[in-house]
Structure 1
């Protein structure tokens, strides 16, 4: 064996898994066709969502379904040509979003989200001052245009505070305006989630984690991996024609995981929610101090190193289909009602694909039919939040330790009749 473990995928999940294995004395080869952290880990809104105990359910109210069905929604849209393949997992997604099922999902999901700040804090401290400089511990604003929606969400926030200890405060319009003087109006107020952290350059933070991985002795190989196969007492994979072997292997390839899993006999009901972002100059001397999410329209607006980043909601489409950044244009128009955005910074919108499962929970698991094979995928909107926690749990499972939380709810078998 050349290594103790080969980790396929150098996003935040793969890097964190490598770090936690190296800390346990294992040798690790990290493989990716791209530079570390340049895919889905790079393009998100930059929130470590400690408050995110409720993953995004499939909408079940008629108004929202009509809005999405007629392509009137900014928060979600679909590509009609993709529906035949997407229909089976989306139907199960709808089923799992029923009140009884969803209640169980939240109960299982909350302990995992509870590890988010703890495990990020660990890696930030280990990575040093350059990582620390990227972090804000203020939280973020969930802002509402109508008092009725704000009151509805306040009631839900109180429930999450009572059940899960999630911290928040309510800001009416004058209080929100005092924190964000450049806002133009049109808002009733906001919930200020106080527990989450935000990051002014998510890709840069993942780069800092990758440097920690290298500092601990991890090896990175850039190239296209293929042919992951059991090999005697371990696993072998070909990277640009050269074979590499290890006792254990980890698939942390996000939306590209099926390309490796399906040849091994694992056909999972995975799908993607694509998303886009664009950076904008600030108009005149306007400043956005903290991330603001506009849920009644369906986008986030965040201060980043390159400017104000707008990130879109969910686009249900094939992973590799051509970009259709229609939602971004709608989000930009809505954001300009609230904040004086300047011109676009980027020549083209960035596009990424969030890897999703029908029950809204990731797969953090040993592969049931193969020894030494582990999988960490399917984090949907919370990949950046949960990458370090997933890496910790996978490394613990791979080395025979007791895991920090029970990972049975995240086992792969739940999609295989097990």
Structure 2
């Protein structure tokens, strides 16, 4: 039987970065996942390290927007009537948490994470030899009308007091930096974020650094995880493993481990899809079509188009309606070539209704820790939430107040 100090369950970008941060503080760590590193939710993101996302994604309170979503009239969000009874309580809580006063409180709690998100990644990327994967060119938010551009300008102005930089472009100014985009009225250029040309390659570089430092990655099913006499245990392909402490970094699958131990939280998923296309022109920046709810990102494989949010059960059959509709519009925006993937990829974003992750100790199980629920920002927050958790685990003074991220904020655990 293999023994270690710390077991990290889940080898997505959050799990691998967390393992690295714990390891850097002198702990022996074994990373366990049923698949290869970065092959689940982390595989399909837009590649943004979103240094500018001070304010979380909020549930709309405008009745006109709500009416449009109710009839699936907005491409950025889609729901399935069959799953509405499952989602309705979560959506109601999401709406409640998105009220201005509560949303501001959540944003201020997350601010230290967002502010340190890029710098923490840069430290790990430098050690992992991965800085060549990053482009520090920001990203573009595109608007098709003056009405939506006016709202975009207002949102951009709202983040300037936080020391963030934006540039505003009319169609002529945009064409000078992105000559192949068509039909855009105006754009906001968020200058502080960075992007990756291959998000999976970053996860694998982090894993290689973890193993170079002496860490071990094993295949194993988290469903076999149990408290053990000496801490916690899980069955791997190489046999049983026990650890003094364990960290759950399982994203949308976290409840498969925490629920049998008596912990609950309102975790839901917003599913998303992507497809790669051969480019017929150059796209210099990731570009979000804000009016139509999809993003185009230049990647090593081609142009990756990511869809908006689909509200459905985590394991329901895929529905390609959203991404197929996005492709029709995207071909008018940018000269995409042929599809490069056999079928669209589907991923599952783990979301809490306050749009904050769960980070910290399990209240009733000594040595059990949580780091999951990063919503749309798993890549963005991976390194920095890994640091926060590692500081808590090893007795360092946390660089940010961890209380807003405790699992107990939802109910008595």
TM-score between the two structures when normalised by the length of structure 2: 0.97
Write the distance in 2 (CA, Å) between the matches of 1:21 and 1:100.
35
Which residue number corresponds to residue 181 of structure 1? 179
Write the distance in 1 (CA, Å) between the matches of 2:244 and 2:305.
43
Equivalent pair of 2:267/2:351 in contact (CA under 8 Å)? yes
Write the distance in 2 (CA, Å) between the matches of 1:3 and 1:52.
37
SS of residue matched to 1:36: coil
Q: In the alignment, which of 163, 168, 171 is matched to residue 170 of structure 1?
A: 168
Q: Does 1:318 align with 2:317?
A: no
Deviations for 1:234-264, whole angstroms, at most 9, x for unmatched residues? Answer: 2122235932111100000000110011000
Which residue number corresponds to residue 241 of structure 2? 244
- Give 1:274 shift: 0.2
Deviations for 1:315-364, whole angstroms, at most 9, x for unmatched residues? Answer: 01011111001110111111112111111111100000000001110001
Which residue number corresponds to residue 40 of structure 2? 39
Write the distance in 2 (CA, Å) between the matches of 1:38 and 1:330.
26
Which residue number corresponds to residue 57 of structure 1? 58
Q: In the alignment, which of 345, 365, 368 is matched to residue 370 of structure 1?
A: 365
Equivalent pair of 2:220/2:234 in contact (CA under 8 Å)? no
SS of residue matched to 2:57: coil
Q: Does 1:204 align with 2:201?
A: yes
- Give 1:281 shift: 1.1
Write the distance in 1 (CA, Å) between the matches of 2:14 and 2:347.
16
Equivalent pair of 2:218/2:238 in contact (CA under 8 Å)? no
SS of residue matched to 2:310: strand
SS of residue matched to 1:272: strand
- Give 1:407 shift: 1.1
Which residue number corresponds to residue 385 of structure 2? 390
Which residue number corresponds to residue 145 of structure 1? 144
Which residue number corresponds to residue 223 of structure 2? 226
Deviations for 1:364-406, whole angstroms, at most 9, x for unmatched residues? Answer: 1111111100001111100110011111111111111111211
Deviations for 1:118-177, whole angstroms, at most 9, x for unmatched residues? Answer: 11111111111xx11111001111111112221222122122111x11111111111110
Write the distance in 2 (CA, Å) between the matches of 1:353 and 1:324.
13
Write the distance in 1 (CA, Å) between the matches of 2:391 and 2:112.
16
Equivalent pair of 1:225/1:240 in contact (CA under 8 Å)? no
TM-score between the two structures when normalised by the length of structure 1: 0.96
Q: Count how many residue pairs are aligned between Structure 1 and Structure 2.
A: 412
Q: In the alignment, which of 403, 407, 410 is matched to residue 405 of structure 2?
A: 410
Deviates more, 1:148-157 or 1:45-54: 148-157
Write the distance in 2 (CA, Å) between the matches of 1:61 and 1:343.
38
Which residue number corresponds to residue 111 of structure 2? 110
SS of residue matched to 2:214: coil
- Give 1:226 shift: 2.7
Gaps of at least 5 residues in structure 2 are none
Which residue number corresponds to residue 127 of structure 1? 128
Deviations for 1:92-119, whole angstroms, at most 9, x for unmatched residues? Answer: 1111011121121111122211111111
Gaps of at least 5 residues in structure 1 are none
Within-5 A mapping of 1:247-266: 247-266=244-263
Which residue number corresponds to residue 214 of structure 2? 217
Which residue number corresponds to residue 155 of structure 1? 154
Within-5 A mapping of 1:2-81: 2-81=3-82
SS of residue matched to 1:2: strand
Q: Does 1:192 align with 2:189?
A: yes
SS of residue matched to 2:270: strand
Runs of 4+ residues over 6 Å off in structure 1: none
SS of residue matched to 1:245: strand
- Give 1:24 shift: 1.3
- Give 1:229 shift: 2.5
- Give 1:233 shift: 4.2
Equivalent pair of 1:226/1:239 in contact (CA under 8 Å)? no
